[in-house]
Amino acid sequence: MKKILATVSAVVLSLAMVALPAVAASAEDTESTETVSTEPQSTTTAPESTEPESTEPESTEPESTEPESTEPESTEPESTEPESTETMSTLRAESNVLTESPVVKVDVCHWDQSGKWTPIEVSSAALGGSGHIDPSENDDHAFDIVEPFLDNTGKNYSDTSYNVPEYKDQYPFNGLSGAEIMESGCGEPEEEDIVVAVSGDPVAEICSELEEGEVLPGSITVTVTIAGQSVTLPSGYVTVAVKGPGDPGFTDLTGNSLTGLGDGTYQFKVTVDEGYVLSTQKNFSEIVGDQDPEGCTLVTKGPVFPELSFTPATCNGDGSYTLTSPAETEDVPAGTVTWFVNDVETAPGTYPAEVGDIVTVKVVANFPADYPVDIDGNVLPEYTYPAYEFTAPVGCDLTTLALTGSSDTTPMLALTAFLGLLGLAMVRSGIRVSRIRQEA
């Protein structure tokens, strides 16, 4: 029995001596990788077993060592991760903004100091160290515009005054935001062309409404708009030239209306300055229609007949004149004419005039096309009567002239006659008294 116990003790002691180095190595690996291995602990419990079956440790010894040999292999990938983590941590510390993983590509508008931005692509890991985000590290990137990525909002992307406020409204920003510059492909957005439109509106020859067989010339109105606003020619941005029938060449317009045109085709040529876009045709033509004089016949509703009369001065009163407008009827509207006396508009009616007054009267048709005036058989749009002078009457004695203006002279005449008779009676009475005295 003692021999058996001695033999078992020797075997256990030898196993413990063999397992001790493996356990130490396993402990060191655990500390370096910060992992916990439970397999080596199973070998330490072998001495606690007192059963005879523990004579088989020779077969378990290699099994307990196999996990120890495979664990270093499994920790090799883990041993490379700390190195990558350390590198990323260093980049984060340098850039102070890169906190994302994995590394991404970021668009940057790089200011190359030559007068323009250049689009480049930079990894997020390299942005901080190269100074694209923190211009204090590298002045060559002070104007760079960085696209926002993950938790980085981007420098100069939303506000051009970030880091460079003194250049916000100056070149190279010119008041543009970083977003506008980046959206344009790292350049100033192209300015929209200013739209110009030119058109012509012709008016054909027409018949005169006042004169039988008379043709009125045509016209063309040229409309020019720049960015929707009407422009009067000549313009510093648009030139319109015209060539009429029989003209040797084109002539630049100095106004928007062409008047006094005969019938025919008129050609136009339009040129615009750089930066302006013509939305209408560069070359176009307009036709002024013809009118045959034989087709110009006046169609009226009938002339109207105004009347003017004068009453000369008399021995007993002043003169007068009367303006009579055509009467309103079913076929003639009211107000067909307007009167002017000595160039002053005057309403119809009777007006007094003193001796020596000179009156000039003119009548004007208000609707000459339909209601011209008829003066002694002459149909006209207006007519000026000969001037009329109010003169003194002839054949009036002084007394009568002195009493001009009195409507009743009988009492005055009676008084005069009475005084005359009274004087005559007094004279005859004086003669009679004288005779009586002589006879006595």
Query: Are 83 and 109 in a shared domain?
Result: no
Question: Is the domain of 222 the same as that of 159?
Answer: no
The CATH code of the domain that includes 233 is 2.60.40
**440 is a domain residue:** no
Q: Is residue 394 part of a domain?
A: no
Domain range for 260 is: 211-295
202 falls within a domain:
no
Single residue among 164, 183, 202 that ends a domain in this structure: 183
Clarify whether residues 238 and 286 are in a common domain. Answer: yes
Residues 54 and 136 in one domain: no
Residue 438 is assigned to a structural domain of this protein? no
In this structure, are 281 and 338 located in the same domain? Answer: no
Residue 413 pLDDT: 62
Q: Give residue 118's pLDDT.
A: 81
Q: How many CB atoms neighbour CB 248 within 10 A? A: 6
Report yes or no on whether pTM surpasses 0.75. Answer: no
Q: Could you tell me if 172 and 234 lie in one domain?
A: no
Judge if 238 and 291 occupy the same domain: yes
Same domain, 89 and 109: no
Q: Last residue of some domain: 66, 93, 120? A: 93
pLDDT at 416: 66
Residues 6+ apart with CB under 8 A from 354: 313, 318, 319, 390
Q: Give domain status of residue 399, yes or no.
A: no
Q: Which pLDDT does position 409 carry in this prediction? A: 52
Domain membership of residue 228 (yes or no) is yes
d(CA 243, CA 268): 6
Q: Are 107 and 132 in contact (CB under 8 A)?
A: no
316 neighbors 397 (Cβ within 8 angstroms): no
Asked if 332 and 412 sit in the same domain, the reply is no
- Choosing from 183, 203, 225, the residue where a domain stops is 183
Instruction: Examine the domain organization and report whether 319 and 373 are in the same domain.
Output: yes
Residue 188 domain-assigned (yes or no): no
What tokens were used for 40?
A: 């080596």
Number of domains within the chain:
5
Identify the CA nearest to 356 among candidates 390, 321, 388, 315. Answer: 390
pLDDT tens-place values along the chain, 440 residues long: 445 655 555 554 555 554 444 444 444 443 443 433 444 443 344 444 444 444 444 444 444 444 444 444 444 444 444 444 443 433 333 444 444 445 677 788 877 666 677 888 877 777 666 655 554 555 566 677 777 766 666 655 555 545 455 555 665 666 677 777 778 777 765 667 899 999 999 999 999 877 889 999 999 999 999 999 999 999 999 999 999 999 999 999 999 999 999 999 999 999 999 889 999 999 999 999 999 999 998 776 889 999 999 999 999 999 999 999 999 998 899 999 999 999 999 999 999 999 999 999 999 999 998 899 999 999 999 999 999 999 999 888 654 444 444 445 556 666 666 776 777 677 677 776 666 666 65
Q: Quote the CA–CA distance of 69 and 26 in Å, as a whole number.
A: 9
User: Is-contact 151 99, C-beta < 8 A?
Assistant: yes
The confidence score (pLDDT) of residue 57 equals: 41
| 422 in the same domain as 370 | no
User: Are 122 and 85 contained in the same domain?
Assistant: no
**Considering the domain boundaries, does residue 231 fall inside one?**
yes
Closest CA to 27 of 76, 115, 19: 19
Q: What is the pLDDT of residue 404?
A: 46
